[in-house]
Structure 1
């Protein structure tokens, strides 16, 4: 299993573990908060890139959470220099 496969598996597990919290939107917010807090920037960038390129192996809840995370991440100064 390569690193991306591991990240996909982890994101799906986190989503599954939080799927029973309130509405789907509330559960997705919990998952997004977890990813933002505990995943390294490189991990977040890789899973976002995967979602944008394909995303087919992510569960629906994981997809929603990653989309939410994308909209709330602040760019790093190096990202702005582009």
Structure 2
């Protein structure tokens, strides 16, 4: 016995809405994860003394750029 399913127009719309919702939710989660990495990197580097940064070869003016690269350049 074959079972067939007929999608009503409402089912199609609800499936599309669920799909869009899940995609947006995943993007928000990725953005929050990136922001968390950015903040952690930025604050850890900011806590270092000028001498420690110089030993690492990092000018203080590059901290923001390095944090952005750590968080968003995968």
TM-score bin, normalised by smaller chain: 0.3 to 0.5
TM-score under structure 1 length normalisation: 0.33
* Higher-helix-fraction structure: 2
